[in-house]
Copies of this chain bind each other. A is one copy, B any other.
Amino acid sequence: MYPKNCWYVAAHAHEITDQIFARTILNQAVIIWRAADGSIAALEDRCPHRLVPLSTGKTVDGLVECGYHGLRFDSGGACAMVPGQDTTPKNIKVQKFPVAERHALIWIWMGAADLADEDLIPDLHWMDAPGWAATTGYLHFKCDYRLINDNLLDLSHETYIHKHTIGNDAVADSPVMTEVIGDRVVRAHREMPNIDPPPFFAMAQGNDKPINRWQIAIYMAPGFNMTEAAFHTVGTDRTRDHFMMRPIHIITPETDHSSHYIWGLARNFQLDDDELNDRIYEATQQTFMEDRELLEIQDQRLRAEGMPKLPQLPVKVDKAPVQGRKLLEAMIQAEQDDPNFCLPPVMLADDDVVTQPFAVAAE
């Protein structure tokens, strides 16, 4: 259950070299590599001769060579050489996929290839933009990607799953304001004014003074999430003096019940602090592995029950994840109704505007 006519993130850009990188995306095994001219190539991971994965082989002069009988294919999927014969039949070819490199990420288009317009790539510039430093990582989750979106849109789970790291009672107890932007984005905004700073925040501001903290879970269908976490010292200027982290969670379906969790945690302070980078990497992997443990159990249970609709009995904190599911389902339905349907991306956050405290009462 996922749309196909949209860009998905296949990998971090630094993971793709002139060697074969193999990954299954939307139930399709693909290989990705940099061809001789440095351009990114993506082919179906399947030799059309005897159907072994091309990833059994290696690259030779920018071509992919099958590991069984040595047939070679170029970045367009055409057969460039068959050992033992002088000619290369034109019918021996491999499906190629549109790919792009942007925001330090490798993007792939698994739907109708002629619709693959690079203008449709979501803006995740925080991964490599000036003024931001991004720590990056990857985790494999054995669960439906939608469960991860649900989880990221309801941060009240932090109090229970992450009780030893980033959660505390303030998160679950604070009200949430939820809004839908366009046909593709949901935002869930929590304010926590005048609280004691948790350890990480105290370290960032350099003291224990009370802070005004806020947290915004932003979801763009099908699997792009940003969970803005920010604060400023009470008495200082919110717009000018805030510290901000923008963790970006890119969830790409691998199969119906497994997902790639490709993440970057961007911050606007201490940009060159390598030790901080290392600490963020360790803490973030640890935190997401706590989610993983629970979500994999949830997926097993849902499969055993025949994948019932979630939530079964919605409570107040479900408002944002329910809206997120609605947008996703509409996107999938629209594509089923019109095979040429593509939904343009929406801006996740405007760097020129700092979100202000609730103008209206949170629900």
Contact = CB atoms under 8 A, between A and B. Distances in A.
A347 interface: no
Nearest to A321: B50
Contacts of A65: 160
A173 B70 CA distance: 11
A227 interface: no
Contacts of A111: none
Nearest to A86: B316
A175 to B, nearest CB: 8
Interface in A157-189: 157, 159-161, 172-173, 175-176
Contact of A68 (B57, B160, B312): B160
Contacts of A312: 48-51
Contacts of A69: 154, 156-157, 160, 172, 315, 317
A172 B65 CA distance: 14
Assembly stoichiometry (copies) = 3
Interface stretch (A8-16, A279-287, A293-301): A293-301
A66 B82 CA distance: 56
Interface stretch (A213-221, A264-272, A303-311): A303-311
Which of A157, A302, A310 gathers the greatest number of chain B CB atoms within 10 Å? A157
Interface residues of A, number: 49
Contacts of A67: 160-161, 294
23 contacts: A46-B301, A48-B312, A49-B314, A50-B150, A50-B298, A51-B301, A51-B302, A51-B308, A51-B310, A52-B297, A52-B301, A53-B301, A68-B294, A68-B298, A69-B154, A69-B157, A69-B160, A70-B159, A70-B172, A83-B156, A83-B317, A85-B315, A85-B317
Interface of A: 46, 48-53, 56-57, 65-71, 82-85, 89, 91-92, 150, 154, 156-157, 159-161, 172-173, 175-176, 294, 297-298, 301-302, 305, 308, 310-317
